[in-house]
Amino acid sequence: MSAPSKLLPVADALKRIIEAAKLLESERVSLPDSLGRTLAQDVTARRTQPPFAASSMDGYAVRASDVASSPVTLRVIGTSAAGHRFHGEVKAGECVRIFTGAPLPDGADTIIIQENTSAHDGSVDILQSESRGTYVRPAGLDFKEGDVLLTKGTRLGPCELAIAAAMNHGSLEVTRKPRIAILATGDELVQPGQEPGPDQIVASNTFAVGAYARHAGADIIDLGIAGDTFADIERCIRAAHEAKADVLVTLGGASVGDHDLVQSALNREGMELGFWKIAMRPGKPLMHGKLGAMQILGLPGNPVSAIVCGVLFLVPLVRALSGDPHAGAERSEAAILGGDLKENDSREDYLRAELSVGTGLPIATPFSRQDSSMLRVLAQSHCLVIRPPRAPSAKAGEACRIIRLGSF
């Protein structure tokens, strides 16, 4: 399939990438190992929480009818603590010393907090009346057995792990982590820590793109750097297959110059090209295709272009493969421009910007220099200001849309 000549809009490119993503198989993992994973099935409560009526305060379990007026003196007949209930029954004129989380004794229906009492040997003075049910957590207050509290497609964070544990699940069925192989290309690149030659630079894209993919829920396969030869690139493509990568992400070399061999090498290996080149800046030479069961996402070689495309396209792809039903949903949010902007041309712009706190919406101030090679500016940025194609000039104080770059 030949590449389309017209630049593809950003929204259409993302839609095609998400539609091509096939949900991966599931696996069962322990509760601690499920952090950051995506549920492959609904999770149902195996118990009622709390399983009994319990006290929410330290104090005394009483019958409301006995404390309708105060002060009143009651006989203390026992103690109920968390994990150690009182097994008798509270009758008229009696009460039980009780602690937070302890089961409410039979016959009692109200808690008098200890601050409103005065204890003596074998008895306690109730100094303030309370209505029935005060400071009592009824059985099932949080949830009941059979309730579905976590649904398929939920990404599991600390609070989701807590509720799963409370539902008495020691393991969960989650989608397998997508395996993302990342290949940097170009004779000009060396690994960090090595001494570059006189015409070389240090490879940096792999680390940010991989970090975003890993944070989205992927396992990363670092294929290193391929030189500008068909043999080297094809060797790395085969390595991605052998590693059973779900997606091969290439960095650089996807254009049509004499030294841009990635697309040609992929075509020689049998890639079905989906699209190439999109109407955005930075990131125009984005490529997407399929090679057997493996998706191909070719990102530009310029550092900022690669990272912005990783944020906009690779992160949603990872989430889609993981089973997130909202993977392709709108991610932008409203903000206020902190500086003037010129009118835009036919490409959608993503401008690196700082965020500051305003009286309402956050204020996004784009940097004056937006060269796609400048990582320093990207490292200082908190978000990307989105400029639609043909957007008119805009003044500071006007509304805009942003995508946060996120923090770890």
Q: What is the mean pLDDT of each run of 10 residues along the chain (408 residues)?
A: 68 97 97 97 97 98 96 98 97 98 98 96 96 97 98 97 98 98 95 93 95 97 95 96 97 69 93 94 95 96 94 97 95 96 96 92 95 91 97 97 83
pLDDT at 84 (0 to 100): 97
pLDDT at 372 (0 to 100): 86
pLDDT at 2 (0 to 100): 41
Q: How far does CA 337 lie from the centroid of its chain?
A: 27
Q: Where are the CATH 2.40.340.10 domain residues in the chain?
A: 333-404
Contact 401, 388 (CB under 8 A): no
Question: How buried is 241 (Cβ within 10 angstroms: 0-12 exposed, 13-18 middle, 19+ buried)?
Answer: middle
Nearest C-alpha neighbor of 20 from the set 202, 287, 280, 218: 287
Q: Where are the CATH 2.170.190.11 domain residues in the chain?
A: 54-137
Nearest C-alpha neighbor of 43 from the set 166, 199, 227: 166
Tokens of 88: 């008798």
Q: Which amino acid is at 247?
A: V
Which residues, in sequence order, are CB contacts of 284 under 8 Å at separation 6+? 7, 277, 278, 300, 305, 347
Strand, helix or coil at 197? coil
pLDDT at 4 (0 to 100): 42
**Domain at 28-49+142-175, CATH from 1.10.3720.10, 1.10.10.10, 3.90.105.10, 2.30.40.10:** 3.90.105.10
Tell me how long the chain is: 408
d(CA 364, CA 398): 10
Tokens of 406: 């996120």
Third-level CATH fold of 54-137? Molybdopterin biosynthesis moeA protein; domain 3 (2.170.190)
**Domain at 333-404, CATH from 3.40.50.720, 3.30.360.10, 2.40.340.10, 3.50.80.10:** 2.40.340.10
Which residues, in sequence order, are CB contacts of 174 under 8 Å at separation 6+? 26, 27, 28, 29, 34, 37, 38, 39, 40, 156
Q: Which amino acid is at 49?
A: Q
Which residues, in sequence order, are CB contacts of 55 under 8 Å at separation 6+? 61, 80, 98, 99, 100, 101, 102, 104, 111, 135, 136, 137
pLDDT at 1 (0 to 100): 38
d(CA 283, CA 14): 13
Question: How buried is 92 (Cβ within 10 angstroms: 0-12 exposed, 13-18 middle, 19+ buried)?
Answer: exposed
* pTM beyond 0.85, yes or no: yes
pLDDT at 156 (0 to 100): 97
Contact 51, 83 (CB under 8 A): no
Report CA-CA distances (Å) from 171 to 111, 196, 215.
Answer: 37, 48, 22
Give the phi and the psi of residue 179 in degrees, each rounded to 5.
Answer: -100, 115
Contact 44, 30 (CB under 8 A): no
Nearest C-alpha neighbor of 46 from the set 154, 159, 144: 144
d(CA 137, CA 101): 9
Q: Which CATH class is domain 10-24+176-321?
A: alpha beta
